[in-house]
Amino acid sequence: MAVAKRPIIHPVDKYLRTERLPHVWCPGCGIGITLHAFMRAVKELEDEGRIDSSKILFVSGIGCTGRAAGYVNFDGAHTPHGRAIPYAMGAKLARPDLIPVVFSGDGDLVGIGGNHFIHAARRNMDVLVILVNNMIYALTGGQVAPTTPKGTYTTTTPFGNPDRPINAVKIAAAAGANYIARWAVTHPELLKNSIKKALPMEGFRLIEVVSICPEIFGRHIGFRAPIELYRRLQKVVKIRGKISPFEATYDWEKEIILGEFQVRNEPGYTRVLMEAFKHG
């Protein structure tokens, strides 16, 4: 990429198109924490010789999180809304040495793209999905998301959200994903470790990251400063070891369970497909 590079001044700068900074994300947003955790995991893996970052395919859909693909210095794409998973799948199956990562938001992945999410998990498609859940459609100004807590004020549910929120962890588990974890931006080190573990695996891997959107979610529901929303999140998340993904409660009023809920090593879709074709 022929661009004027800024000097490398931060350990993960080489994974960023630094000339694109500053980014669009608001002060206090959790996407940066998540992206940083991802890049740190890549750096550690690459430093240990376990991964070649020129093989990473970093794909996003539409939304605040969807903008991430444009800032990182990997092969990548910013796809139409909800279509990051099938795009990454096509690229991976056409070129199996790629390491696809889908980094996108809750609306993109389990709202408009929900069907692709289910079926990629069902196939055990080789992709690491990092689902940044900010509980709202933020880039468009605060409309209700599939993850928005019941009863919450949003701009399209001014009398409270009548819908029950989706639990992406349970859906991925029901569909048969290889790896399932949920973390929060309150615990970036655990998140980084989880990404580092999941990235070299095969099959479908979901890491949901409960994030904060102080500007469009928090402020609308009465949290005046980002730190207030962050503390509210700190209070509701609870880390549990060795529990079933079906026990991983997602309830903004009671508890949001964090942890690693499923670690399997079933063969990924690429390998299964190539094996089947061999006998064709």
Partner 1 sequence: MSREADIGFLNSNHAAAEGALTAGVNFYAGYPITPASDLFEYLARKMPKQGGVIIQTEDEIAAINAIIGASWAGAKAMTATSGPGFSLMAESIGFAAMVEAPIVIIDDMRTGPSTGVATATGQGDVMQARWLSHGHYGIVALAPFSAQEAYDLTIKAFNIAERLRVPVVLLMDYVLVHTREKVRLKKPPEVEVWSRKKPRVPPEEYLPFKPDEDLVPPMATYGEGYRVFVESLVHDYRGYYVTRDDVYEELVKRLSDKITVNKHIVLDHVEYYTDDAEILFVAFGSTARSVLSIVRHARARGLKYGLFRPISIWPMDTDALLKAAENARKIIVVEMNYGQLFLEVDRVIKDKPVYLAPILTLDLPTPENILEVCRKWL
| Residues 58 and 41: beta-carbon distance below 8 Å | no
Write down the least CB distance from residue 268 to partner 1, Å.
Answer: 14
| Residues 12 and 3: beta-carbon distance below 8 Å | no
State the residues that interact with partner 1 by CB under 8 A: 1-3, 17, 20, 54-55, 57, 59, 69-70, 73-83, 85-95, 97-98, 115-116, 118-119, 273, 276-277, 280
Count of H-run helices and E-run strands, the chain: 8, 8
Write down the least CB distance from residue 88 to partner 1, Å.
Answer: 6
Cα distance between residue 245 and residue 182, in whole Å: 9
Query: How many other C-beta atoms can be found within 10 angstroms of the C-beta atom of residue 277?
Result: 8
Write down the least CB distance from residue 71 to partner 1, Å.
Answer: 9
Copy the structure tokens of residue 83.
């279509």
Residues with Cβ within 8 Å of residue 49, at least 6 apart in sequence: none
* Closer residue to partner 1 in complex, CB, 79/194: 79
Q: Are strands 179-184 and 256-263 parallel, antiparallel or unpaired?
A: antiparallel
Write down the least CB distance from residue 152 to partner 1, Å.
Answer: 29
Q: Which helix (H) or strand (E) holds 263?
A: strand 256-263
Cα distance between residue 206 and residue 67, in whole Å: 19
* Closer residue to partner 1 in complex, CB, 32/114: 114
Beta bridge partners of 82: none
* Closer residue to partner 1 in complex, CB, 125/210: 125
* Closer residue to partner 1 in complex, CB, 20/240: 20
Write down the least CB distance from residue 216 to partner 1, Å.
Answer: 20
Q: Are strands 179-184 and 127-133 parallel, antiparallel or unpaired?
A: unpaired
* Closer residue to partner 1 in complex, CB, 33/68: 68
* Closer residue to partner 1 in complex, CB, 9/94: 94
Write down the least CB distance from residue 212 to partner 1, Å.
Answer: 25
